[in-house]
Amino acid sequence: MGKPGDFLKYSREAPPEQPPLERIRHWEEFHLNHAAERLPQQAARCMDCGTPFCHAGVLLRGMVAGCPLRNLIPEWNDLVYRGMWREALERLLATNNFPEFTGRVCPAPCEGSCTLGLHGSPVTIKAIELAIIERGFEEGWVKPSPPLHRTGKRVAIVGSGPAGLACADQLNKAGHTVTVFERADRIGGLLMYGIPNMKLDKRVVQRRLDLMEAEGVKFVVNVEVGKNYPVEKLLREFHAVVLCGGATRPRDLNIPGRELAGIHFAVEYLHGNTKHLLDKQHGDVQVEGAFGYPYLSAEGKDVVVIGGGDTGTDCVATALRQGCRSVTQLEILPRPPETRQPDNPWPEWPKVYRMDYGHQEHYALYGSDPRRYLTTATRFEGDEQGQVRAVHTVRVEWVRDEKGRMTPRPVPGTEEVYPAQMVLLAMGFLGPETSLLDQLGIERDERGNVRTAPGRYQTSVPGIFVAGDMHRGQSLVVWAIREGREAAQECDRYLRGEKT
């Protein structure tokens, strides 16, 4: 503990952000850096509690409490307070391969379980984490460190999202020769094309990829294993395979009018926009890679986003930057309360009302939150050309069915119609795509995810492992990194023939 009592002396100071009306005019990151002299003070608020729930990483009633990576948060907070930044970086990298990603896009379950949050404001853990890694890059402390010896074992990683990259990083450090296959035209998966540039600048992603490449990891793009790269060749050329393809089957909304033009999945919209942005930056002539989506613009359109999660928020923010005429976000769940309720005690993730960045931007423009709670779409209305022009909705109430499950029930007389020339479906994902899994003969569980023994990463086929959303279902970047690390450990034991 840096200085006893500082959690009483200092208040939480969140990192500054560019004002909403300024940032919607560009695609750059809008989070600004803390003043250097303020960070040790913020780190000093860490109270060295007897049980640091911030790095517990456990599930409570289906929600994570603390950091899934089990970051050594009190330790590097104390080191930052003492000005020992390089030592803080070493402690951070001991558990997290990519703190520059989690420090930007993680919802910070660590802060939700911070002991200070029990009766006040938690430590700014996420901001301090980001400051540590960025200082490491600025000072030149983060540099290529290839393994001294190679084992002669070759490993294929299928998918280059956070799970695949973390797994590749760990296995490369262990001395194995790692090749990462990506079906898109750029490496990064969700980090590159699923998260908008204003939340995670792609130069930050590329900086890490360049580092990994310098350490010996080989990246292959525009290659879809099982399609233009036969699985037989994969199994023949590599001693082990780790599947990290993610949960990429989006949930659809099969209501009348779904066939109309102008209705798109959110992943299609976000991927196409980021690719368009990057292609313009790099002067690329190529319009689409082996796997890609067309550019879709919301300029001058009324946009309705169906789904109230992070992806839906990203769609709102993207549409605003593209110059939409209006944007509405439909959320079937009720509006969260302003404060924790008795049935949501600390250290559970606090289910309270928040305005994310896209909602803040909408409020700054129009004076309102774009979300419509307890609302669901009932049908899409089209024009004579088969183009969507409106979304019909109804309010719902949540009631228990005959089996005791909470289900939404339409409320008569609450129907509304929203104009829409673009509809974006952001209702989550159903699980991994099945083609490659079928070709490999991989068993799946009742949810469609790859089946493994509890707490393990070996699939039903010896020598083939799995990690990330393909294994656990749609989840957080921080969970994907943890799974990639743990799958790498299990794969390493398999390659070395060790029993323990």
Q: Quick: pLDDT tens for 413-448.
A: 999 999 999 999 999 999 999 999 999 999 999 999
Average pLDDT, the chain: 94
What is the rounded average pLDDT of the residues 354-379? 97
- In the chain, the number of structural domains is 3
372 and 275 share a domain? yes
Q: Which residues contact 484 (CB under 8 A, 6 or more apart)?
A: 97, 162, 163, 164, 165, 166, 167, 168, 169, 170, 244, 467, 468
- What dihedral angle (degrees, nearest 10) is formed by the CA atoms of 466, 468, 474, 477? -170
Measure the CA angle with vertex 455, ends 450 and 458; round to 5°: 50
Do residues 124 and 207 touch, judged by C-beta distance below 8 A?
Answer: no
How far apart (Å, rounded) are the C-alpha atoms in residues 130 and 127? 5
Q: Is residue 254 part of a domain?
A: no
| Encoded amino acid at 391, one letter | V
**pLDDT per position as a tens digit, 64-97:** 899 999 999 999 999 999 999 999 999 999 999 9
In terms of domains, do 131 and 176 share one?
no
pLDDT (mean) for 32-36: 81
The helix (H) or strand (E) run that includes residue 388 is strand 388-400
Residue 249: the pLDDT is 94
Domain co-membership, 206 together with 112: no
Residue 375, pLDDT > 70, answer yes
Q: Are residues 393 and 468 in the same domain?
A: no
pLDDT recorded at residue 1: 58
Looking at this protein, which amino acid is placed at residue 84?
M
Q: Which two tokens stand for residue 111?
A: 């802060």
In the prediction, which pLDDT does 2 show?
A: 59
Q: Does 453 lie in the same domain as 374?
A: no
pLDDT the model gives residue 120 = 86
CATH number at residue 410: 3.50.50.60
For the chain, give percent helix, strand, coil, nearest 5.
Answer: 35, 15, 50
Tokens of 176: 């194995």
Last residue of a domain, one of 393, 408, 425: 425
Contacts of 403-410 with CB under 8 Å at 24 or more apart are 408/332, 408/374, 408/376, 410/376, 410/378
Confidence bin at 473 (pLDDT 50/70/90)? very high
Q: Say what the pLDDT of residue 287 is.
A: 45
The tokens for 206 are 């590329």
* Pair 304, 407 in one domain: yes
Query: In percent, how much of the chain has pLDDT > 90?
Result: 87
Residue 107 inside a domain? The answer is yes
Res 290: pLDDT: 41
Last residue of a domain, one of 79, 105, 138: 138
- pLDDT tens sequence across 171-183: 999 999 999 999 9
Measured CA to CA, the distance from residue 470 to residue 451 in angstroms comes to 10
The reported pLDDT for the residue numbered 288 is 46
In a domain, 242, yes or no: yes
> 222 and 99 share a domain?
no
Distance CA 198, CA 250 (A): 23
Mark whether 40 and 131 lie in a shared domain.
Answer: yes
Kindly state whether residue 480 falls inside one of the protein's structural domains: yes
Compute the Cα dihedral for 219, 468, 91, 155 and give only its sign.
Answer: negative
Instruction: Provide the CATH number for the domain around residue 127.
Output: 1.10.1060.10
Output the pLDDT for position 60. Answer: 87
Residue 237 lies in a domain: yes
Whether residue 258 lies inside any domain: the answer is: no
261-315 pLDDT, tens digit each: 999 999 999 999 999 999 987 665 444 444 678 999 999 999 999 999 999 999 9
Q: Same structural domain for residues 176 and 285?
A: no
Mean pLDDT of 126-136: 96
* Same-domain check for residues 391 and 489: no
Residue 9 has pLDDT above 80, yes or no: yes
Domain that holds residue 181: 154-249+430-496
Tell whether 24 is covered by a domain: yes
pLDDT tens sequence across 316-330: 999 999 999 999 999
pLDDT over threshold 80, residue 4: no
> Where does a domain end: 403, 425, 447?
425
Does this model's pTM top 0.75? My answer is yes
Residues 468 and 351 in one domain: no
Query: What does the alpha-carbon distance between residue 305 and residue 443 come to, in Å, rounded to a whole number?
Result: 35
Tell me the C-alpha distance between 150 and 165, whole Å. Answer: 19
Per-residue tokens: 437: 């899994």
Output b/e per residue, 83-109; b: 16+ Cβ within 10 A.
eebeebbbbbbebbbbbbbbbbbbbbb
pLDDT at 499 exceeding the cut of 70: no
State the Cα–Cα distance between residues 155 and 496, nearest whole angstrom: 12
400 and 274 inside one domain: yes
In a domain, 207, yes or no: yes
Residue 109 has pLDDT above 50, yes or no: yes
